[in-house]
Amino acid sequence: MYSWRRPDLKPGLLGVIKSFEDAAGYGFIYSPEARKKYSRDVFLHRKQLKEFKVGDAVRFQVNENRDGHPQASKLRPAPGETVILPEEPAAPVPQEKPEKEVFIGEIKSFSPVNGFGFIVNEKLYERFKRDVFLHESRSSRG
């Protein structure tokens, strides 16, 4: 029987392959120990994946990249060990964008030298207590 135990490998961290995108060539391992230390999942490069797949429990070593983020190496099976993924918060429900309001105003001032001016609109002045800024790139003249 082939043994996965090698004297040069530490026990390593226990985790579960959480995701892997073949097209991108990388994924992530969830490990409670790594989350405690790094506050993030562990990066998994395609070269380390070998025969493993999403959902497999694995033992692995951690190397830090130049930014101090964890990267998995030397993956090996973790038979009989279980890692439970935390429940992900539900994705926020997208809010419908309100329809854009349209206002009609009068150009109060405009300086071609400075490239901006101001528009007067009573409703907007009541709401924001100022005139509306107009940059030359937004005018039909610009």
Q: Find tokens 């490069």 and name the residue.
A: 45
* Distances 72 to 5, 26, 96, 116, 128 between C-alpha atoms, Å: 18, 11, 40, 54, 53
pLDDT above 50 for 54: yes
Kindly state whether residue 96 falls inside one of the protein's structural domains: no
| Max CA separation in the chain (angstroms) | 87
**pLDDT tens sequence across 73-93:** 999 999 888 888 887 766 676
Supply the pTM of this predicted model. 0.57
Q: Report which of 72, 76, 80 is spatially closest to residue 33, judged by C-alpha positions.
A: 72
119: containing domain: 106-138
**pLDDT tens sequence across 102-132:** 899 999 998 888 888 899 999 998 988 889 9
Kindly state whether residue 85 falls inside one of the protein's structural domains: no
Q: Which of 57, 77, 97 is the last residue of a domain?
A: 77
At residue 60, φ and ψ (nearest 5 deg) are -155, 160
| 8's tokens | 């040069």
Q: Please tell me whether residues 27 and 70 are part of one structural domain.
A: yes
Q: Please tell me whether residues 119 and 63 are part of one structural domain.
A: no
Report the distance separating Cα 8 and Cα 26, nearest Å: 26
Kindly state whether residue 110 falls inside one of the protein's structural domains: yes
Q: Assign residue 55 the CATH number of its domain.
A: 2.40.50.140
pLDDT at 1: 40
Count: domains in the chain: 2
